[in-house]
Structure 1
Amino acid sequence: MTRPPFDPVTDRDLRIVSAQLGRPARDVVGIAARCACGAPTVVSTRPRLADGTPFPTFYYLTHPAATAAMSFLEAAQVMVECTELLAADADVREQYARAHAQYLADREQYGTVEEIAGVSAGGMPTRVKCLHALAGHALAAGPGVNPIGDLALERSTWSPDVCRCPDYGIDADEEPA
């Protein structure tokens, strides 16, 4: 089952994502997951950016507290544990391979880019390379789709159910420009 299409992205969403990233948001096609307060947490990005660059990370984690939590887990060697789990558990490997296929199907709804054909994110389907990407996919797809992303979220001190958003300097009820 594929996730897109998403609700239209508002100018307000793009301003928040740009504030989260510290740079202008690029080629966002949807908000794949939101914080409890409604701020973007995961964006979906075109597989080819406007400047022609192939961009395999369709589900991109943008929330500052979520990205910090995933960085903490990576520094704590959780990727090594996940890699060992992937090697040892056939059920996890099978579910991870299905997550990879779903990721590709979701992204391909927004275009096929030959340079990244078969490449999803986070090391799927055979390794664990980036918890940020895997958690972003897990948040977008929902629990039970990406086992490694789910595990990262479970091990994290961050939760999408508890708002820890900084003040982005954008009124909550501000209408899109």
Structure 2
Amino acid sequence: MSNRWAEDDCDLPYGVLRLGSDAAQEGCTYVMYHGTSSRNAELVKRSGFQQSSDGMLGRGVYLSRDPQKASCYPLNHPEKDKVIIQVQVNVGRVKRIRRQNHPLRKTWHDHGYDTAWVPPNCGMVPSGLEEDCVWDPRRIKVLKVIKPQPEYSICSAYLCWNAN
């Protein structure tokens, strides 16, 4: 059984935007999500996010405006220990990366961008869900940790498809 993530949309901070299918607008602040384990969520709450050393978009903090995308992580981790961290992010200057061979796929920050954005259904990720990579963890403010509720999700469909 997989998870539905209970999001409390009614208490968004002033000026923070909800999920939309449009590109992240430069200089705007959005609610985003980061999937992790309970233990790592506690570390993030205490010390803040740390940049990953690498990934699909290079170094940075990987987030999504879609809680279903975040609910897939960490991969191959027990469902009962997965949580998502709801955050507030000022995206700064945004670079759209729509394909694997994009010339700035891993070097976007070197060209003055603060966030790289992979649009939904562009072929970059098998789930078809959008993804963001924020260079500077100081742009991210933790709002709360969200616990799962049992229900079918796109994550389980993706993981089952990916395993075959």
User: TM-score if structure 2 supplies the norm length?
Assistant: 0.25
Judging by fraction of residues, say which structure has more strand.
2
Judging by fraction of residues, say which structure has more helix.
1
Q: Using CA pairs under 8 Å that are at least 6 residues apart, name the structure with larger relative contact order, 1 or 2.
A: 2
User: TM-score if structure 1 supplies the norm length?
Assistant: 0.24
Larger Rg: 1
